[in-house]
Amino acid sequence: ESVGPTIAAGEILVEIMATDRGLGFLEPLTLVGPYPSGAPAIFIDQVARLGGGAGLIGCVGRDDFGTVNLNRLRRDGVDVSAVSVSDRYPTGSAFVRYRPDGGRDFVYNIAESAAGQIRLTAEARQLADRAGHLHVMGSTLSVAGLREIVAYATKAVRASGGSTSFDPNVRKELNDGADGAQFSALVDDADLLLPSGEELLTAAGVDDECHAVKALIARGVGEIVLKRGAAGSSRFAADGSRIDCAGFLVEEVDPTGAGDCFGATYLTCRRMGMEPGKALFYANAAGARNVTRRGPMEGIAGFDVLDGFIAGTARAT
Ligand code: ATP
Ligand code: MG
């Protein structure tokens, strides 16, 4: 087991959200933000908050939105040496509004923002060369520069005896242009696969949970941790074992970021040597606590806060 930091790569964004539920952005709304965001940033910040080594490859603009993100990542202990700062492009952004039914509408500015300028720089190579774990998200594969970074970092991490995880994270607005072959290869090579709901079936190409798990394990996936929103999560291992973890009962204020906090916590606990059941329990707590705060990174917590949350929160039975 390689001891280098866990690394992630991809979009660093600010999130700006409508305070009222409704459909889309077709009339003037009250908005709140900027909150630091971007799935890879949320993930890696959670790793750092738990005390795990953490580094991020990304690009922000030379503007306040970039500073909001860099300040947060630095404060929480993330290595940002491979985050470049663009003089030409503004920091990426995501406007989000929650629908009455719990769905979400987004307006993204990513491809033509600094986030779209991400490249395999010398600093990115250096970080990948000393990394012990690479976490990849499907939502980032539509960006050309990301595909090159992922290919390089996968090889580098493998060469130094490290491991990989993959969150398929299918987003209808973002996955156009993703490379199907690279997607399949990432699934096949993942030591840890972190799908949510239907993504398990999409990744396996079958339409039933048990068959999907078997098919993916047969393709070489080391372990599968399935996210089930308020219902909690399940972990399936190559030896055929299964662990289910009921969700914590919380009031969901803002669901964005739960999946990333959950995945980062499971991974970090495992990299610290914790057994799977305990890691799953902490991951459930991290995901549940995150949805109780407005802003995707505002609910990120270290072990002390998670222990307090666990002690004070009931779980579904
Ligand atoms: P994201 O929107 O960030 O991509 P996701 O779909 O990947 O999220 P979810 O299943 O929504 O992931 O959430 C991850 C985990 O967080 C769940 O498995 C669960 O443990 C916890 N969680 C999420 N939402 C809730 C909730 N409303 N109540 C309790 N726990 C929750
Ligand atoms: Mg997800």
Nearest residue CA, atom 27 of ligand 1? 230
pLDDT in tens, 37-82: 999 999 999 999 999 999 999 999 999 999 999 999 999 999 999 9
Q: What is the ipTM of this complex?
A: 0.96
Share of the chain above pLDDT 90, in %: 84
**Is the CB–ligand 1 distance for residue 38 below 6 Å?**
no
Q: Is the pLDDT of residue 315 over 80?
A: yes
Q: Which contacts qualify for 220-224: CB closer than 8 Å, 24 or more apart? A: 220/188, 220/189, 221/187, 221/188, 221/190, 221/191, 221/193, 222/163, 222/190, 222/191, 222/192, 223/191, 223/192, 223/193, 223/276, 224/192, 224/193, 224/195, 224/200
Give the residue-averaged pLDDT of 14-37.
97
Nearest residue CA, atom 9 of ligand 1? 229
pLDDT in tens, 248-276: 999 999 999 999 999 999 999 999 999 99
**Is the CB–ligand 1 distance for residue 166 below 6 Å?**
no
Nearest residue CA, atom 11 of ligand 1? 229
pLDDT band at 174 (very low <50, low <70, confident <90, very high): very low
Give the residue-averaged pLDDT of 121-137.
97
How many Å apart are CA 205 and CA 165, to the nearest integer?
Answer: 19
How many Å apart are CA 167 and CA 202, to the nearest integer?
Answer: 12
pLDDT in tens, 241-252: 999 999 999 999
Return mean pLDDT, the chain. Answer: 94
Q: Is the pLDDT of residue 103 over 70?
A: yes
Residue whose C-alpha is closest to residue 236's, from 218, 220, 222, 219: 222
Cα-to-centroid distance, 196 and ligand 2 (Å): 6
